[in-house]
Structure 1
Amino acid sequence: MKECLKRFMEWLKKLLLLDYDEEVAVHCIKCSPELYEDVTEGFPTFVITKNDKGYSPGDYLVLKEYDAELEALTGRTVRTSIMCIEEENEGLKPGYCVLGIEED
């Protein structure tokens, strides 16, 4: 019940503060089973990915679990919100970014 109330309040906040001129994008990427588990268990998470999709804070990022051994998607997905983005850091390869995400 507490979780339902929390989700309802988040939905209500989004509804009341919705800016109809603002577009929110949804991006999909593959992720490891370890990252999938971290996100679904509520750990604060950062994702390093190619910066080729025009990511912005407030956009949604759908993580699709990928099994490298089977070379296939598992079918499990989780939707997250992009909280922040770091594009320029001396530890990043050119063309990559760090996304701070939170399960939606």
Structure 2
Amino acid sequence: MTLLFPEAQAPEGPKITPLACDWPQCECGYNCERNDKHEDWIKEQENDLEQPHSDDRRAEDSTMKQHDLKVWPDYFDAIADGRKPFEIRKNDRDFQCGDVLRLREYSPGPDEFTGREITRTVSYMLSGDDVMGAAFGLQQGFVALGLSRS
């Protein structure tokens, strides 16, 4: 629930504008936590937060995959030297924590691989399909992958 305070409880000083309720069917404005019709929706959101995170699922399924991925030169260099310890990808490969990524430098101009490659392991995963991933701005169907050296 993205609420600051009901107007009656707003602190003295500069005016603080309450955030809108994030319940999709809400017409009551920002003061939703006092409204009983939201209870089921709130419980559903809390249950989503209690579900295992993406990195916990690997313990249930011990199969690791290797993924060969193209990476443009600027991003390849940043991953290789450690400045970019993450990768944002469309989750069309069912990425999981523990998967191995074979990152191959790819130059889109001449449309060819440069021959450089590095290997990283997925150490953390945040999905746009989960409540928290969406809350942090990931679109549905996309993931942020934390990378560690293999």
Taking structure 1 as the reference length, the TM-score comes to 0.71
| Residue 102 of structure 1: aligned partner | 148
Provide Cα deviations, 1:54-95, integer angstroms capped at 9, x if missing partner.
Answer: 111111011111112112111211100101111023322221
5+ residue gaps, structure 1, are 1-20
| Residue 58 of structure 1: aligned partner | 98
What displacement does 1:103 show? 2.5
Q: Identity of aligned pairs, percent? A: 29
Give, in whole Å, the separation in 2 of the partners of 1:44 and 1:31: 12
| Residue 11 of structure 1: aligned partner | none
Counterpart mapping for 1:1-104 below 5 A: 22-88=62-128, 89-90=133-134, 91-104=137-150
Give, in whole Å, the separation in 2 of the partners of 1:87 and 1:45: 16
Taking structure 2 as the reference length, the TM-score comes to 0.51
- Partner of 1:38, secondary structure, is helix
Moved more, 72-81 or 39-48: 39-48
The verdict on how the C-alpha distance between 1:44 and 1:69 changes in structure 2, with shifts beyond 3 A counting, is closer
Provide Cα deviations, 1:17-66, integer angstroms capped at 9, x if missing partner.
Answer: xxxx8222111111111221122213351111110111111110111111
| Residue 45 of structure 2: aligned partner | none
Count of residue pairs the alignment pairs up:
85
The structure with more radius of gyration = 2
- Partner of 2:79, secondary structure, is helix
5+ residue gaps, structure 2, are 1-60
Give, in whole Å, the separation in 2 of the partners of 1:71 and 1:96: 25
Give the aligned CA root-mean-square deviation in angstroms.
2.0
